[in-house]
Structure 1
């Protein structure tokens, strides 16, 4: 039987987000901070596509650009054969029903003055016309979907634990049956014991509802647990993409190798410690990135060429690419 090609839900082409730097008293500055600098990737229906990298690499800005919570400077985000960046207001309303977000902090992403019933009813009130009974039924089924119960309805966010609040955030994101959910560091504010519960919930909801997840994280041990494919970001650029197996078992870019070497080994019986790659120095300024490879100033295997020539994305295998001269 021929292999069925997965449908591409989101096609991101050469996405950039530059922030202008305020000028001095005499006039405007022409300098910009290149938060996202020419990022391209595709997200397939039903998969978990993870964007990983350390703080300040541009991964959250990429996520917010996909949602148009921040306006991209240039590029294309194609959904349903339309460029999201050119959508009119009414088209954006439809698009937003199909792409929702779970924020990092469940403490600040829920309105403390609203009961859970009000928080979960808002998406329906804005987008649908329902009777009081229909609305209540929908809210109760959402609560049960995320492992909460009817007696939680009239409570307020401060009465819940962090994990429960994140479940409420997930329920709100699911209200309008979206196709895609952007998960922006959804477990980094939670205790480690609660993190696995939320990740398992996301995986089971994905299977049950056929969801597509874009998972943004700095934590590779979390990413390994949930991803199908991974993009590694550094200084506004994607430096490597591949399946979870390829990234974890056969990393190609020096930055990916260094990131993986820093993941702690959980098994105390594992005597053989992996070789730790130390990255010297700090991330260069996004205002003044290196002329050649973005990773040049911190790379343990750099050559002279790396300082002068921007590397091209090279294929390691059909689904695995890296931005490095050494490949």
Structure 2
């Protein structure tokens, strides 16, 4: 950790010591419940602190990584070299008329519950998506015929010059699991949604219906990162995987869910390597049988354990 002493001291000047952790296991910060240690993990409390920490990392030529809830992330067993900036403390939600502005670390669940409380409709689809609104905006998250692009009005980001920049819906270039945020490596600070007035009872009924569908069809009782693979053009990943008779296939404690073949789950004590090996096996067999290349929807960060030891 000697190489990080200087940067830790600099970060401690812009945020409190309690917000800085050394050699923090990423299994404690991802929904997969796997992942080795991050050299440094910091939880800033406001946009100014985020700007300052990113600037410090850039000036010291240290890699940095932004996470929200860690619900779409697989960290390798060797962990992450550099600084992980976790935005969980940026979680304020404000309502003005038909618009909700939420800081990037606010959970989608909390945002949808605020919408329900205020009688605003349009974001029901996101009620059961287990992530932060910042990540959802960046990847244009969606489910059950709804996507963030349907309700997003604008996003406040930190650009590559370290400046705050407001992107309109058109400037966000939202497409399937992609956006200008991802393309340019921007950092989301807050998101503004434009919703419509609705009947609370109808909104709640829609949320309850979608929650039941999720609970019935998805392996919510196990750690996972949601849908493991992107939807290939003209196909459904889960159907291809099921048709390859891969449902229930395991590598170590990683398993293709028997409940929903689009999910790879951590049955008990899976390692990141178990999950990665299972992902590779699924990709190989689907391509061999159908000629379709499956791309992961989950982000994969960090180093393998052996490489970390050799270093």
Q: Same fold (TM over 0.5)?
A: no
Return the index of the structure with the highest Cα Rg.
Answer: 1
TM-score scaled to structure 1, two decimals? Answer: 0.30
TM-score by structure 2 length?
0.31
